[in-house]
Amino acid sequence: MKIAVVGTGYVGLVTGTCLAETGNQVICVDINEKKVKMMQEGKLPIYEPGLEQLFERNIGQKRLHFTSNLAEAIAEAKIIFMALPTPPGGDGSADLSYVLGAAKDIAKLITEYKVVVTKSTVPVGTADKVTAVMKANTNVDFAVVSNPEFLREGVAVEDFMKPDRVVVGTLDDRARKLMAELYGPYVRQGNPVIFMDERSSELTKYAANSFLATKISFMNEIANLCELVGADVDMVRRGIGADERIGKRFLFSGIGYGGSCFPKDVQALAKSAEENKYDFRILNSVMEVNEIQKRVLVEKVKKYFKGDLKGKKFAMWGLAFKPETDDIREAPALYIIDDLVAAGAIVTAFDPEAMNNVKTLVGDKIKYAQDQYEALEDADALLIITEWSVFRTPDFEAMDEKLKSKVIFDGRNLYDLEKMVDLGYYYNSIGRKLIS
Ligand SMILES: NC(=O)c1ccc[n+]([C@@H]2O[C@H](COP(=O)([O-])OP(=O)(O)OC[C@H]3O[C@@H](n4cnc5c(N)ncnc54)[C@H](O)[C@@H]3O)[C@@H](O)[C@H]2O)c1
């Protein structure tokens, strides 16, 4: 099938590449010409495990193309995906200007029936808005479909190729058939393509992300309580996770959720509820807890150094909002850097993939190390921010040689407490006993 993907960010590029992988002809279009040129030269603009191989193969086999010309991209496409940003507007609601702007441009260009799919995360009612904008700009027949994306950065290719489920919101028969045909190869093992109306589909995405964010905030509150009552959050997690009704996943406590989705999606759902005169109390608490949790690690650091961080040197392991991505949008690391630097501390960071993005954002506000051990040179303490695999079993002897003091603040609970006692570290993690 001929497909166009408008917007080649984390979602659009993975979508386009994975759709080409099953034999479709895909043209990806982006307004960022520098990015388009890069992709035309066969270079990936983002880090996403497994993507490079598929990207190269499909470009090589001429199924995956890039352009900055929308007309060229959609001319022959049966289905047009919009994978455009929906950042928070000033009031927290999702900014639909990218989606509605592209819908208008698409409408002006189409000459035959097209299925226009919103892959961006958009509030309930957006399909109606897209339809209205398009109707005002064309007399040609079209269908607007909601098809939210559930991929996780870091395992995006796997998630797209083998989704737990595909949600498609449309009441248009022709569109439904085309979408079923397109997704068929991805659900051969029997995972469902769930068809529903557009509004339910739009809300499903926000409900999923908000529920997951709720789990995180809930566990962070349990962790904070654990510290007060002398319990161990990792034990509690295992204890409740064994209950099938609760499940093992998304129960890790830490330093708050970040990334390009959870913060903005929880906020947008709360705003959407408010606009409909519904006070979504749980969501407001989820956000409040997260704001506090983002600062928990720095509070621990300040307490240890008796409020005086001036001139103190900190090594920081991890900058990305989670492992296996270079994405730093709303990353807890950024808040922690701000707080430490504002208090007069000197920060040297290492991240396997996200350092360039952080350099672009904060420049020389912090120092950057070539590897995780170099970051420790003469540091008063190490802060663990992202749970990259390489930080899980480090060479503690090499660490001892570099660190000025054997002090670790671990926002991800990577190390065994008994081991830290044996190694003689001061070790302050989240929701567990303080080793001092
Ligand atoms: N990143 C994720 O993990 C994820 C997962 C599920 C859903 N989503 C949702 O998918 C949407 C896209 O997210 P993302 O992370 O891929 O965003 P992104 O910022 O990485 O990418 C968006 C791309 O769209 C391009 N663009 C902007 N305006 C354009 C236009 N008029 N025409 C063509 N291209 C244009 C930008 O240049 C950019 O390359 C958002 O609504 C997001 O909430 C994201």
pLDDT at 281: 96
Among 124, 106, 128, smallest CA distance to 115 is for 106
Q: What is the pLDDT of residues 215-259, one digit of tens each?
A: 999 999 999 999 999 999 999 999 999 999 999 999 999 999 999
In SS3 terms, 136-160 reads as CCCCCCEEEEECCCCCCCCCHHHHH
124 Ramachandran zone, left/alpha/beta (phi>0; psi -120 to 50)? beta
Interval between CA 259 and ligand 1 midpoint (Å): 13
3-state class (DSSP) for residue 350: strand
The pLDDT, as a whole number, for residue 225 is: 98
Minimal-distance CA residue to ligand 1 atom 10 = 120
- List, in sequence order, the alpha helices (H) in 294-412: 296-304, 332-342, 355-362, 396-402
Specify whether the CB–CB gap between 169 and 199 falls below 8 A: yes
DSSP label of 435? B
Residue with tokens 């819908």: 103
Question: Cα–Cα distance between 253 and 219 in angstroms, integer?
Answer: 5
- Kindly give the residue spans of alpha helices, DSSP state H, lying in 4-96: 10-21, 33-40, 51-60, 70-74
Pocket lining for ligand 1, CB < 6 angstroms: 6-12, 29-32, 35, 83-86, 98, 101-102, 120-121, 149, 151, 153, 260-261
Ligand 1 atom nearest to 264, measured from its CA:
43
Which atom of ligand 1 approaches the CA of 13 most closely?
16
The Cβ-side half-sphere exposure at 408, using a 13 Å CA radius, reads 28
Residue nearest to atom 43 of ligand 1 (CA): 121
pLDDT of residue 339: 97
Looking at residue 20, its pLDDT comes to: 98
Q: What is the pLDDT of residue 333?
A: 97
Beta strands in 170-236 (DSSP E): 193-196
pLDDT tens-place string over residues 26-44: 999 999 999 999 999 999 9
CB 409 within 8 A of CB 336: no
Give the span between the Cα atoms of 92 and 267, in whole angstroms: 6
Q: pLDDT > 70: what percent of the chain?
A: 100
Is the CA virtual torsion 267, 269, 270, 271 positive or negative?
A: positive
What are the structure tokens assigned to 274, written together? Answer: 């408010």
Q: What is the pLDDT of residue 273?
A: 96
pLDDT of residue 384: 98
Contact, 152 vs 14, CB < 8 A? no
Q: Which of 84, 106, 266 to mutate to test the pocket of ligand 1 (most atoms within 8 A of CB)?
A: 84
- Burial of residue 366 (number of CB atoms within 10 Å: 0-12, 13-18, 19+): buried
Report the SS3 class of residue 116.
strand
Q: Which residue segments constitute the domains of the chain, with CATH numbers given? A: 2-196 (3.40.50.720), 205-292 (1.10.1040.10), 294-428 (3.40.50.720)
Q: 181 in helix, strand or coil?
A: helix
Distance, CA 397 to ligand 1 centroid (Å)? Answer: 43
Residues belonging to the active site: 261
Q: Measured between alpha carbons, how far is 259 from 270 in angstroms, rounded to an integer?
A: 18
**Pocket of ligand 1, candidates 17, 30, 262, 325: which has the most ligand atoms within 8 Å of its Cβ, to mutate?**
30
What is the Å distance from ligand 1's center to 7 Cα? 6
Backbone dihedral angles phi then psi of residue 88, each to the nearest 5 degrees: -70, 135
CA 331 / ligand 1 centre spacing (Å): 17
**In Å, what is the CA distance from 370 to each residue of 200, 209, 338, 352, 357?**
48, 35, 22, 9, 15
Helix (H) or strand (E) holding 272: helix 262-275
* pLDDT at residue 414, rounded to an integer: 98
Q: What is the pLDDT of residue 4?
A: 98
Q: Kindly give the distance from the C-alpha atom of residue 55 to the centroid of ligand 1, in angstroms, as a whole number.
A: 18
* Cα separation of the two ends of the chain: 62
For every one of its 436 residues, what pLDDT tens digit does the chain have, with 9 covering 90 and above? 999 999 999 999 999 999 999 999 999 999 999 999 999 999 999 999 999 999 999 999 999 999 999 999 999 999 999 999 999 998 989 999 999 999 999 999 999 999 999 999 999 999 999 999 999 999 999 999 999 999 999 999 999 999 999 999 999 999 999 999 999 999 999 999 999 999 999 999 999 999 999 999 999 999 999 999 999 999 999 999 999 999 999 999 999 999 999 999 999 999 999 999 999 999 999 999 999 999 999 999 999 999 999 999 999 999 999 999 999 999 999 999 999 999 999 999 999 999 999 999 999 999 999 999 999 999 999 999 999 999 999 999 999 999 999 999 999 999 999 999 999 999 999 999 999 9
CA distances from 35 to 42, 192, 251, 400 (A): 11, 34, 37, 43
Exposure letters 219-240 (e unless 16+ CB within 10 A, then b) = bbbbbbebbeeebbbbebbeee
pLDDT tens digits for range 165-176: 999 999 999 999
